Structure 1
Amino acid sequence: MQDKNFDTLAGKFAKNIYGTLKGDIRAAVLWRDLEEMLPLLGERRLRVLDAGGGFGFFSQKLAALGHSVVLCDISAEMLAEAKRHIALSPTPLDIQCIHAPIQDLSRDALGEFDLILCHAVVEWLADAKGTMTSLLTLLKPGGLFSLMFYNRDAMCFHSLIAGNFGYVQSGFKAKRVKLSPNFPVTVPEVEAWCDGWQMDIHCRSGVRVIHDYLKKGSLSTEYSDTGLIEMELKYSREPAFLRLGRYVHFVAQKPL
């Protein structure tokens, strides 16, 4: 199977992921994690690579803090949308957009980066570990790697409690929707990758540890979407709930 290109799905992707409560939860958890981890790199202007960054949500937030960002995506439509948002920024943003698969990125062409983001990408890659290993050649010694991946175990559990036993027994091949990842991975699998890279994982968070398990209409009327996000942040790092997250976010550091 080939890696996924969202060119033909850019509109649907934007509608389903960004500008929704799911997207707000993702943004809140990841930004909380990044704000806590960035001080490890010191108080200075950073070079950031947003690999497979789509519309560049975090590229724009980091550039707004004064950092220099390279945003790469395989989808021309995604990058066009990113450029539109960048142009609308009230302050100039130092963001270079590159239309290319992340496998084509090289240290010779781009140099090294203090921080690399790779969010919701590995689950669409036929050779995720190999691609990430190559990507990390662009990370400076001591640099941070922010990796968010679709959690196969959470996908399994969600299907089980919904009674979709046949889907689970088929190895998740019985049905296929366009935005269902082709190559989900598990937390132990990605932890093993980090061990092989000799990288210390400083931060582990589940993303959507509550939202996807709520029954329709079950959220108490006294709690708003903001209240749910607060609970997601509170429980995202609890060991009992972290691995239930639809996605899991690691921030790992490359050895000096």
Structure 2
Amino acid sequence: MGAEAYTPGNDRHFDGLAEKFANSMYGASRGQLRLSLVQRHIRAHIPLPVGTALLDIGGGLGQMSEWARHEGLCPTLVEPSAEMLVRAREVLGASVPCVQADLQTFARESAAPWPRVVCHAMLEWMAHPEEALPLLYGLTAPGGWLSLMVFNHDALRFSNIVKGNLERVVDGRSLAGRGDRKRLTPISPMTHAQVLGWAEAAGFECRAVSGIRVFHDYLRERTPSEVQLSQLAELEARFGDQEPYWRLGRYLHYCLYRPESS
């Protein structure tokens, strides 16, 4: 299916929520840990030659583009929310191109594929996340890599059980967010089997997968100390790509390769 067949539909964008993201996500230990773990996983499995062009699709506040720039890469950030884009430009300055567009529009209008593509915590805010993988495949050059991170439905179910929301799970009610308030429960959480199936059907090879925050979100201690956070980061890094722990990561991170011959 070509890029022209896709429309934004009822995807959720984040105008009006930039401050909440900055404070409750990236200003908290969970957001800082998420960034450090996914960056570690990328370094371990995706080659990052200095000077390589990188597309940060759904780049939000610009944290991954900023990291890529410090790694010696040449990022371009694409984000549909005007408010998020303003914040990203403040962080990145004029040296990083920032484009206001959703995935569907950018995939339709992009002139050439990219050797490195980053798409983190975006698919779960799409009404039809399965439609993203063919578009991301088209944006990734042959021999290139896609760093994909998604919100894990199995972890959402486990979290609800641990927190005592038993009736909701027993009854089989939807655990997804509705996208109509300021809560940040995604509208389309997905399973590993779904993501792997979509990626392989699009033509990607999955070279590595890791759970991101496999322990942090289940701690009884709501405000871990600096010592505990340091110990936790070590344990997350040690066990995040091992069975059975990675399967319960709040997010799943995939290193996907587009073969040269495709």
Same fold flag (TM > 0.5): yes
Query: SS at 1:148's partner residue?
Result: strand
Q: Which letter maps to 1:144?
A: W
Aligned equivalent of 1:90: none
* 1:34 counterpart = 2:42: yes
How far apart in 2 are the matches of 1:69 and 1:188? Answer: 30
Gaps of 5+ in 2: 1-8
Please give the secondary structure, in 2, of the residue aligned with 1:178: coil
Cα distance in structure 2, aligned partners of 1:33 and 1:216: 26
Work out the percentage of aligned pairs sharing the same amino acid.
33
Could you tell me which residue of structure 2 aligns to residue 106 of structure 1? 107
Q: Show the 5 A alignment for 1:1-256.
A: 2-39=10-47, 43-87=49-93, 94-106=95-107, 109-168=110-169, 169=171, 170-172=173-175, 178-216=183-221, 223-256=227-260
Q: Deviations over 1:202-252 (max 9, x none)?
A: 121111100111112696x79332121111111111111001101110011
CA distance in 2, matches of 1:58, 1:65: 10
Q: What letter corresponds to residue 241 of structure 2 in structure 1?
A: R
Secondary structure of the 1:8 match is coil
Q: Distance in 2 between matches of 1:222 and 1:111?
A: 45
Three-state SS of the structure 1 residue aligned to 2:145 is strand
Spell out, residue by residue over 1:3-30, the C-alpha distance to the aligned partner (whole angstroms, 9 max, x if none): 1111111111111111211012111111
Q: Which amino acid aligns with 1:241?
A: Y
- Residue identity matched to 2:240: S
- Cα RMSD for the two superposed structures: 2.2
Is the Cα–Cα contact under 8 Å of residues 63 and 94 in structure 1 kept in the other structure? no
Gaps of 5+ in 1: 88-92
Measure, in 1, the Cα distance between the counterparts of 2:177 and 2:59.
Answer: 30
The residue type equivalent to 1:5 in the other structure is H
Confirm or deny: 8 A CA contact 1:68 1:94 kept in the other structure.
Answer: no
Secondary structure, aligned partner of 1:223: helix
SS at match of 2:168: helix
| Secondary structure class of the residue paired with 1:237 | coil
